[in-house]
Structure 1
Amino acid sequence: MRSAYMLLFLLLASALSGCASVNLFRDYSEPLREFTLEGTAEPKVVLITVRGTLETGPDEETFREAPGIVQETVSQLDKAAADPSVKALVLAVDSPGGTATASDILYGELLAWKEKTKAKLVVCMLEVAASGGYYISLPADVIVAHPTTITGSVGTIFIRPKVVGLMDKIGVDVDVTKSGVNKDMGSPFRQPSREEVEMFDGIVGDMNSRFLSLVAKHRNLSDENMRQVSTARVFTANQARKVGLVDEIGNIDFAVATARKQAGLPENARLVVYRRTEYADDNPYNSLLTRMASQPTLVDLGAAGDLLRRRTGFYYLWEPGY
């Protein structure tokens, strides 16, 4: 806590003095630049990492908002699409999923990128590629899971806060004037009616049908394997390969080699990434696009903080901590 106060003091002192030498934030003003991680041949394999919860909005840093995961990923896809030397893309996915809309946007952007470029797409799953993290992997020509990856969770969940019990305890009530009987459905201030529960079940079912239909379209699973997948359970890498959710098991180097092979490229085809700043000793496991001098965190609530920030909505998300 003492260090957090010190960082805040430095920030305020810098602002008051007009000093420009102290930068506590990431710099997003620079355009994305290409950096080569390995290889010397002209054709390129681009590595893009999608890490964290998928949301359409910006990331909320301590003192300001930053570009969100959808915006940053699409920016990289656009840059890769504009380069005719790019013959393949490795998408490293480390995500438990997120909102249904964010997942669907990235799925659509990856499909459009493949159609526009005619390049190959290989997904490399890292720690977790579940629910929406699996959803965005579906356009891949080959899905590679790390030996310790957790994937699957093909399902939909409706998350909403509920404070009606707390309000009863502290003697607080909310008056609502509404134009229709269902106008406040999903309100955290009262228990849902049976009809509302049925309507929410219908919405979840409709969104989940889309998810399952896309899995069936891209993965061609047997009826028995599809039944297992539709329970929304998670799988290890070996289990996922047995039911047909992934194609291969290997690390990120294996995924890059697979992308080169899929695109018919030489073994020394360049592996490139897009960054706003240069990193010494850069490697494929670096998911940062922009360097920061320091990022102050005044209060870190961990998983509880993530839960408090979670907006009411429909998610393709695996969140066992909650």
Structure 2
Amino acid sequence: MSGRTFLLLMVVLAVTAVLSGCGPTAYKITPIPASEELAETTVRRDPGILLPKIALVDIEGLIVNARESSLLGAGENPTALAVEKLRKAATDPWVKAVVLRINSPGGSVTASDIIYHEVARLRNGADGYPGKPVIAQILDVGASGGYYVACAANEIRAEPTSVTGSIGVIMLKFDVSGLFEKVGVDTNVVKSGPLKDAGSPFRPMEPREREMFQHLIDQFYEGFVAVVAASRADLKIERVKELANGAIYSGLDARELGLIDGLGSLDEALDRAKQIAGVDAARVVMYHRPVGYRGSIYSRIPDPQVERQANPLIDLRLPEAFVSQGHFMYLWQP
């Protein structure tokens, strides 16, 4: 392969990645339909009969408001799925409390805010249904948008080794103009206004574009800070801003800094949920599409993504950095 052919191939790959925007990072074949009503499975129970329920709801992976695409059609939208689960818990009179099992580095600003407000509705009550206590339990990672969602809960708990924080906003923009120049590719743009192609990857960013994007990022940042301050009664907003510099914290540090309420395991979070709900015995339930089996509280939901691991017929993944190209993100992305 000649050097020029190699460079041209790299250009094609770069353009494909850039133009993918918030598109899928994997292509897979899966026979699982995503349109079936949620089923319920008990994953833990105390002794007794006719027990009230504690709902265990996952906030997992990249938080985006977009369907995953596969070669056989569209898959699940993780934001829509989370909202569906939360509303099922909110409308079930047997559910007395909800535990959010968070394992997410965050995601888009809007998707994080959608789930945050849905958790707040469940906690406070809406549409004639009473409010229910919510405990957020951070597992490996509950950073940025993952932490934003947790702030809607009554309490935030984490493992001592969890990673949280990363309070802030980021937007990535690739600039492939130098690469294009090397291989002799030019880009011609016809636009209705000077900012219509703001953020284009085919040329360097201009100062007025940067100013526009920075204004939006500052606006979304202030919203994040306000959410954290509302959740952390003992932290003044000035202190929240000191902590909201993008830094990540271990569970131990987060507890010391007042960003979470307690340390412990998922089992302890479930026991705490029972305590707040005022029930002595309960069964823990998870919601899922009617496929697969869950044997414990650490089981993953059987959504179409699981089939990527079970049947990796086609699995062409792009780096996660490409997902956030040109989008405002509450995201920890090392």
On whether the aligned pair clears a TM of 0.5, the verdict is yes
1:254 paired to 2:248: no
Q: CA deviation at 1:28?
A: 2.7
> Relative to 1, partners in 2 of residues 1:206 and 1:174: Cα closer, same or farther, differing over 3 Å?
same
| Structural mapping, 1:141-290, within 5 Å | 141-220=154-233, 221-222=235-236, 225-266=239-280, 268-277=281-290, 279-280=292-293, 282-290=295-303
Q: CA deviation at 1:137?
A: 0.5
> Relative to 1, partners in 2 of residues 1:211 and 1:227: Cα closer, same or farther, differing over 3 Å?
closer
Equivalent residues of 1:147, 1:237 under 8 A apart: yes
Q: CA deviation at 1:222?
A: 4.0
Query: Which of the numbers 48, 51, 54 marks the counterpart of 1:42?
Result: 51
Compare 224-233 and 191-200 and name the one that shifted more: 224-233
| Structure 2 counterpart of 1:298, one-letter code | I
Query: Which of the numbers 74, 86, 103 marks the counterpart of 2:112?
Result: 103
> Relative to 1, partners in 2 of residues 1:297 and 1:150: Cα closer, same or farther, differing over 3 Å?
farther
1:150-179 alpha-carbon deviations (Å, 9 max, x no partner):
000000001223211111111111111222
Q: CA deviation at 1:308?
A: 3.4
Equivalent residues of 1:48, 1:92 under 8 A apart: yes
Compare 58-67 and 113-122 and name the one that shifted more: 58-67
Compare 59-68 and 196-205 and name the one that shifted more: 59-68
Q: CA deviation at 1:274?
A: 1.3
| Structure 2 counterpart of 1:81, one-letter code | A
> What percentage of residue pairs aligned between the two structures are identical?
34
| Structure 2 counterpart of 1:275, one-letter code | H
- Determine the C-alpha separation between the residues in 2 that align with 1:307 and 1:25: 28
Q: Could you state the TM-score of these two structures normalised by the residue count of structure 1? A: 0.86
| Structure 1 counterpart of 2:41, one-letter code | F
- Determine the C-alpha separation between the residues in 1 that align with 2:85 and 2:31: 21
Equivalent residues of 1:277, 1:290 under 8 A apart: no
- Determine the C-alpha separation between the residues in 1 that align with 2:164 and 2:173: 24
- Determine the C-alpha separation between the residues in 2 that align with 1:141 and 1:67: 28
1:308 paired to 2:325: no
1:31 paired to 2:76: no
Q: CA deviation at 1:193?
A: 1.4
Q: Could you state the TM-score of these two structures normalised by the residue count of structure 2? A: 0.83
- Determine the C-alpha separation between the residues in 1 that align with 2:122 and 2:212: 36
Compare 178-187 and 202-211 and name the one that shifted more: 178-187
1:178-217 alpha-carbon deviations (Å, 9 max, x no partner):
2222111111111111222122111111110100111111
> Relative to 1, partners in 2 of residues 1:279 and 1:191: Cα closer, same or farther, differing over 3 Å?
closer
| Structure 2 counterpart of 1:132, one-letter code | G
1:68-87 alpha-carbon deviations (Å, 9 max, x no partner):
11111111112112211111
Q: What SS is found at the alignment partner of 1:265?
A: coil
Aligned-residue Cα RMSD (Å) equals: 2.0
Equivalent residues of 2:30, 2:70 under 8 A apart: no
Q: CA deviation at 1:61?
A: 3.3
Who is 1:72 aligned against? 81
Gapped regions of structure 1 (runs ≥ 5):
1-22
Gapped regions of structure 2 (runs ≥ 5):
1-28
Compare 223-232 and 149-158 and name the one that shifted more: 223-232
> Relative to 1, partners in 2 of residues 1:238 and 1:225: Cα closer, same or farther, differing over 3 Å?
farther
Equivalent residues of 1:43, 1:87 under 8 A apart: yes
Query: Which of the numbers 119, 131, 135 marks the counterpart of 2:148?
Result: 135
Who is 2:23 aligned against? none
